[in-house]
Amino acid sequence: MAQLGAASGTAYFPRRLERRSEAIFFPYHLGGKRVNWKACAFPEKDFIGEKGGKLCFYNLDRVLAAQPGDVYLVEGEWDLAAMVEAGFPLDRILSVPNGGREKKDDGEGKPGEPAGYDYVEQALHRGLGRHRRFIWCGDMDDTGLSLRQDMAHLLGAAKFWFVE
């Protein structure tokens, strides 16, 4: 947790808990500046982000500074922490800032392009695309599989691998 810059504290969680809870705070940085934070409640599960905070991959600055190689993508900060604990290099792991998104309607009532992923395009613009492969290590539930499909589309299927 120290490597991630995480801190402990308390926060109010209005969505599910509707009360204050102990939490771990994960800072989101972009271009060397903190642009957001996410508080993760425990022992019960709930999340809250900084009001007006910018969406970006968690740990993006470290991955952008690394030499080109493989990048592992996970669904949350706890998953990223588990990968670090398992021995994966910190500068090779990204977490999405939040879960899957609704698909834009293509005008004919069918889902079209993924919506709400501007942070992926911004990361690619900053140089994320120079990495060799993106390896998805997400959940196998419907949300995780949908998110995997969206990331493959956005990052490019030719460079996208996944673990089941």
pTM (predicted TM-score): 0.89
For residues 105-118, average pLDDT: 68
Judge whether residue 103 has pLDDT over 70: no
In this structure, the chain runs to a length of: 164
Give the pLDDT confidence score for residue 32 in this predicted structure: 95
- Domains of the chain in start order, with CATH, are 1-53 (no CATH), 55-164 (3.40.1360.10)
Give the pLDDT confidence score for residue 115 in this predicted structure: 76
Where in 18-92 does DSSP place strands (E)?
Answer: 19-30, 33-41, 47-49, 70-74
For residues 132-159, average pLDDT: 95
Plot region of 16 (φ>0 → left; ψ -120 to 50 → alpha; else → beta) = alpha
d(CA 140, CA 80): 16
- Do 79 and 69 touch, CB atoms closer than 8 A? no
